[in-house]
């Protein structure tokens, strides 16, 4: 039995413009809609292919937390109930001294500051509560936003991994990034493109657009209870 206190559950972490908390079954429709977007899916593992599969992923993710193997946080903006993105932290060795994180967020929320603040909240939790010493991240070389976001919060590039990420018929190069507690910092201007009020306004507009897109989608077939488990990690390539 794991001795990690967080296997019993993780708290909600609240920032100025977003909050993060463990993913819930009710997040499945929004996450399917937003993370299946080709612009988002282009630089990550193939996302679960249906709302039911996303529900299966969420059940699997919560089981992984209960086993002390990984945690999946949902990124939740103000005025929203459902997550619009995820940040995963998984052990690379049993003590969690070294862990890997992966992340994805709906493109409507790019450039709003939502991801950077969520990443800072999760990184602080990983270092201070999960007692992670080193966080590693992989991002494909052509994923400018992902690499830029990692650099903003203090991550250091450690090398290039050739043919490291297989997706369908291609093999992509990846940058390997590392982050330690002493490297972590908030960007000098976390809302460089917006004032805080404008950032909040942009996020509210993105939430409204996402809700319209979800409502416009035809209803999915009934999700079995519990749904079949669907393992998924953002930067785990296809086998």
Whether the ω angle into residue 226 lies within 30 degrees of 0, i.e. cis, is: yes
CB 70 within 8 A of CB 192: no
Of 90, 94, 99, the closest CA to residue 181 belongs to 99
pLDDT digits (tens, 9 = 90+) for 128-164: 999 999 999 999 888 898 999 999 899 999 999 887 7
Domains of the chain by range and CATH? 10-136+201-216 (3.40.630.30)
What are the DSSP E strand ranges found in the chain?
13-14, 19-22, 70-76, 85-91, 98-105, 134-140, 156-167, 170-179
Q: What is the pLDDT of residues 188-205, one digit of tens each?
A: 544 444 555 666 677 777
Please give the pLDDT value at position 188: 53
Tell me, what's the pLDDT at 1?
45
Which of the residue ranges 33-37, 75-79, 218-222 would you say has the lowest mean pLDDT? Answer: 218-222
pLDDT at res. 191: 43
pLDDT at 209 over 80: no
d(CA 115, CA 113): 6
Indicate the range of 113-117, 138-142, 208-212 predicted with least confidence: 208-212
pLDDT at 90: 97
What does the pLDDT read at residue 208? 76
Q: What is the pLDDT of residue 43?
A: 86
């Amino acid at each position: 039995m794991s001795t990690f206190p967080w296997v019993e559950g993780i708290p909600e972490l609240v920032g100025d413009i977003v909050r993060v908390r463990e993913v819930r079954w009710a997040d499945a429709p929004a996450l399917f809609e937003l993370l299946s977007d080709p612009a988002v899916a282009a630089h990550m593992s193939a996302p679960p292919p249906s709302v039911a599969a996303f529900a299966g992923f969420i059940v699997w993710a919560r089981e992984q937390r209960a086993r002390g193997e990984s945690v999946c946080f949902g990124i939740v903006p103000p005025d929203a109930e459902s997550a619009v993105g995820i940040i995963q932290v998984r052990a690379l060795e049993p003590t969690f001294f070294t862990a890997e994180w992966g992340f994805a967020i709906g493109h409507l929320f790019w450039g709003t500051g939502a991801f950077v603040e969520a990443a800072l909240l999760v990184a602080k939790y990983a270092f201070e509560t999960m007692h992670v010493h080193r966080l590693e991240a992989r991002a494909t070389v052509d994923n400018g936003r992902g690499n830029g976001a990692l650099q903003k919060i203090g991550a250091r590039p450690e090398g290039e991994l050739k043919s490291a990420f297989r997706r369908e018929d291609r093999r992509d190069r990846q940058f390997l990034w590392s982050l330690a507690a002493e490297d972590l910092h908030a960007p000098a201007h976390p809302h460089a493109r917006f004032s805080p009020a404008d950032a909040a306004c942009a996020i509210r507009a993105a939430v409204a657009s996402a809700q319209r897109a979800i409502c416009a989608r035809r209803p999915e077939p009934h999700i079995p209870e519990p749904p079949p488990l669907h393992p998924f990690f953002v930067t785990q390539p296809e086998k």
